[in-house]
Structure 1
Amino acid sequence: MPASLKWLAGLFAASVVAAIVAGGAMFAQSRTRTRIMAEQVSGGSSAAGRVAIAAYGCGSCHVIPGIAGANGQVGPPLTKIAVRASIAGKLPNDPAAMTRWLEHPQAVVPGNDMPEQGVTRRDARDMTAYLYTLK
């Protein structure tokens, strides 16, 4: 292979690597911005929310991205819950409604399939923060 082609191939390979690195950095920045915004609007911690979601066993009924073993088929999947228009088909999808729903689903929509789990206000805020990262 002529030297000029080797140089061109090396330049192309370096460009591909740079594009992959830049794309990864942009993805990481986007996820960080999403997490920060979710925590600001909910008043919770998404990291603590992830722990609370697992502790309350939400994944036994729901598919929840990022939660180990959360592959339940009883309730709706919570993928992209942050961009849905409503919660339980009845409530506007906003942080206050999400928190209220997680704390007392039977009081909000009597007779629905989601059981009361005794979720505390703090845990509900944290869980809301995590769920609002799912875009």
Structure 2
Amino acid sequence: MRLRWIALLASAAVLATGGIVTHRIEQHRQRVELARNLTGGNPDRAPELMITYGCAGCHEIPGLAGPRGRIGPPLGTVAERVYIGGVVANTPENLVHWIVDPKALAPRTAMPVTGVSEVQARDIAAYLYTHR
């Protein structure tokens, strides 16, 4: 009888975990869809862009393998921030503008102009709004 209860509890735990995983997958899917709609970008293209343009050299970026820079702030909570770079409201258009030309918004910022195009910045913005 005791083994039966243990087996039942183990089965319930597996089912509960599966439900949690399914829920998290659905939440992520919804975040991706919202980020695509807000930015007009494709977050799937962003990891390669962020490696190419050296973003991870200065920032810690969720889901991105490689260096974990400490010069700039970690980018895992961009979607939750009120301001971008401490100077402009966190909107999709402002984030894209910041990624393309941060000096236009804050001339004394340490963030360099990297050569990222607006289309590429939309992909990066979508990625940052998707990941936490």
The TM-score range, normalised by the shorter chain, is: over 0.9
- Compute the TM-score of the two structures, normalised by the length of structure 2: 0.95
Q: What are the equivalent positions in structure 2 for 1:21-36 lying under 5 Å apart?
A: 21-36=18-33
Please say if residues 85 and 92 of structure 1, whose CA atoms lie closer than 8 Å, have aligned partners that are also in contact.
Answer: yes
Aligned with residue 109 of structure 2, among 99, 109, 112: 112
TM-score (norm 1): 0.93
Q: Name the structure 2 match of 1:48.
A: 45
Larger Rg, first or second structure (1 or 2): 1
Pair 1:81 & 2:114 matched: no
Deviation sequence 1:84-133 (CA, Å, 0-9, x none): 11001011001000000111111121121011111101100000000101
CA positional deviation for 1:55: 1.2
**Which whole-Å CA distance do the structure 1 matches of 2:34 and 2:105 have between them?**
26
**Is the contact made by 2:87 and 2:105 (CA closer than 8 Å) also made in structure 1?**
no
| Residues 58, 70 of structure 1: 8 Å contact kept | no
Is residue 58 of structure 1 aligned with residue 29 of structure 2? Answer: no
> Please, which runs of 5 or more residues in structure 2 have no aligned partner?
none
C-alpha RMSD of matched pairs (Å): 1.1
Structure 1 contact 87–93 (Cα < 8 Å) conserved:
yes
Counterpart position of 1:5: 2
Alignment pair present for 1:125 and 2:104:
no
Identity %: 33
Count of aligned residue pairs for this structure pair: 132
Residue among 75, 94, 119 paired with 1:97 = 94
- Matched residues in 2 for 1:70 and 1:86: separation? 25
